[in-house]
Amino acid sequence: MENKKQCAMDTRDLVTLLADLAEQIEMLIGKKGTISVFRYAGKQMGKRLGAGQPGDAEMARGIVAKFFQDKEFMDGVALQGNHAELQGCRIGLVLKERGIQAGSHALCNFGFGLIDGVTEAVTGHKIITLHVSSEYHEEGVTCHETW
- Residue 113 phi/psi, 5-degree rounding, is -65, -40
Residue 124 is classified by DSSP as S
- Alpha helix segments (H runs only) across 71-125: 90-97, 106-123
Q: Whole-model pTM?
A: 0.87
Q: Which residues have a Cβ under 8 Å from the Cβ of 117 and sit 6 or more positions away?
A: 42, 43, 44, 45, 46, 47, 48, 49, 50
72-119 confidence digits (pLDDT tens): 899 888 878 888 888 999 888 889 989 998 898 999 999 999 999 999
Q: What is the mean pLDDT of residues 111-135?
A: 94
